[in-house]
Amino acid sequence: MIRESLLEENIDLSSIYLIPVPDILMNNVWVSHVRSFSPNFDIVFARNPLVIRLFKEAGFEILIPPPYDREKYNSTLIRRLIIENNDEWKKLVPQKVAEYILKIRGDERLKAIAGIY
């Protein structure tokens, strides 16, 4: 989903790694867990306070990107719109993301989780 969105924006992926890292729910080893999945890196981009603290304590340089219209681009809002069958959610995500969500029946899965069948 992320890869397709970057390609849609003509972003060169030759030096970008998209690596899914499963959560282990153990803060004391989180940084080493992430590093075990990744090539070497010195800088961490994050807005999550816990991620920032853990990587800062491990000696990494932290860059905090500015928020990007968080009232509008809000995952809770997007999920609610999907559950309510409001197609406005498609305007809040890249086209490839909307296509992927529909392809994997993510909309139906969200409705099932919400108890709407």
With a pLDDT cut of 70, the percent of the chain lying above it is 100
pLDDT digits (tens, 9 = 90+) for 73-113: 899 999 999 999 999 999 999 999 999 999 999 999 999 99
pTM, two decimal places? 0.72
Mean pLDDT of 27-52: 95
Query: What pLDDT, on a 0 to 100 scale, did the predictor assign at position 34?
Result: 96
What are 61's strand-pairing partners? 43
Domain locations in the chain as residue ranges: 2-63, 75-113
Mean pLDDT of 51-77: 93
Long-range contacts of 96-104 (CB under 8 A, 24+ apart): 96/1, 96/4, 96/5, 96/7, 96/8, 97/1, 97/4, 97/5, 99/4, 100/1, 100/4, 101/1
3-state secondary structure of 62: strand
Question: Which top CATH class is 2-63?
Answer: alpha beta
